[in-house]
Amino acid sequence: MDFGGSDEIRFERLDRARIVTLTRPQALNAVTHRMVKALDKALRAWERDDGVDVVAVKAEGRAFSAGGDILHIYEAGRAGKPPVDFFADEYRLNARIARFKKPYVALIDGIVMGGGVGISFHGSHRVLTENAQFAMPEVGIGFFPDVGASHLLPNLGGSFGMYLALTGNRIRYGDALWSGLATHTIKAQDQSGFLDRLVATGDPESALRDPLSVLDWVNLYALAVNEENANGGRVVTAPTNGAAGIIPAVLHYYM
């Protein structure tokens, strides 16, 4: 599928899912104007297409996206041609993602900052792995939280959004999930399986509810149940008594 992104962004049709892959790993998938326009064009087409149930965005390499293409912005400014069109189109894309009527799943494995936040965190599902790191580093040079982050951050719990906006500090997947920036987390090694389930079901919630992952969690829970044996006074580690009822209930809920 070609929406004009050249070799910087790839679009795939897999059954009723559409997969977008950022393909500039050598530049940490920095977002270019070409990528912005191509993704916007694709989303406009897919939103009207009844054959599309879900859109997923991922990236090649060790970063989801380290932000906008700062080198291009710098060079344009030096040449006396501020990239006004780039920022205008980028902000329109952020708004389109926020209003997108179908599930928009950002699968984030690695650094996500600045412009990368704009094409991921406005979507309905923000799925982070243990390798994810979130930050808005532009505030370190006196810029406001960009790409719609001034809308995202105030909605976080407590004063956490203000903390991120004032410091630009990096956070990882645990804090992102706690604060509401992330909607889900998965292991990095489970990404392929998740995408396979997403393509098969077209439903992010079903794809994220992997029975094997649930069993892993329940096994850990069972091993952590320590109780004193009423007869012998021994401490045992097993899913006995109350836990024997809790675990099937948890399985029934998740599966």
Strand-pair category, 133-135 with 111-113: parallel
Catalytic residue among 115, 116, 123, 161: 115
Q: How many angstroms separate the CA atoms of 58 and 25, rounded?
A: 12
Cβ distance 122 to 94 under 8 Å? yes
146 is annotated as an active-site residue = yes
Catalytic residue among 5, 67, 68, 114: 68
68 is annotated as an active-site residue = yes
Q: How many angstroms separate the CA atoms of 44 and 46, rounded?
A: 6
Contacts of 143 (CB under 8 A, 6+ apart): none
Catalytic residue among 110, 138, 148, 161: 138
Q: How many angstroms separate the CA atoms of 150 and 112, rounded?
A: 16
190 is annotated as an active-site residue = no
Q: How many angstroms separate the CA atoms of 153 and 149, rounded?
A: 6
**Could you identify the residue written with the tokens 């990368």?**
116
Consecutive H or E run containing 63: strand 63-65
Q: How many angstroms separate the CA atoms of 142 and 245, rounded?
A: 55
Q: Which of 187, 148, 202, 144 lies closest to 15 in space, CA to CA? A: 202
Per DSSP, 8 falls in state S
180 is annotated as an active-site residue = no
Backbone angles phi, psi at 205, to 5 degrees: -65, -40
Catalytic residue among 8, 40, 69, 146: 146
Residue 185, helix vs strand vs coil: strand
CA 150 from chain centre, in angstroms, equals: 18
The catalytic residues are 68, 115, 138, 146
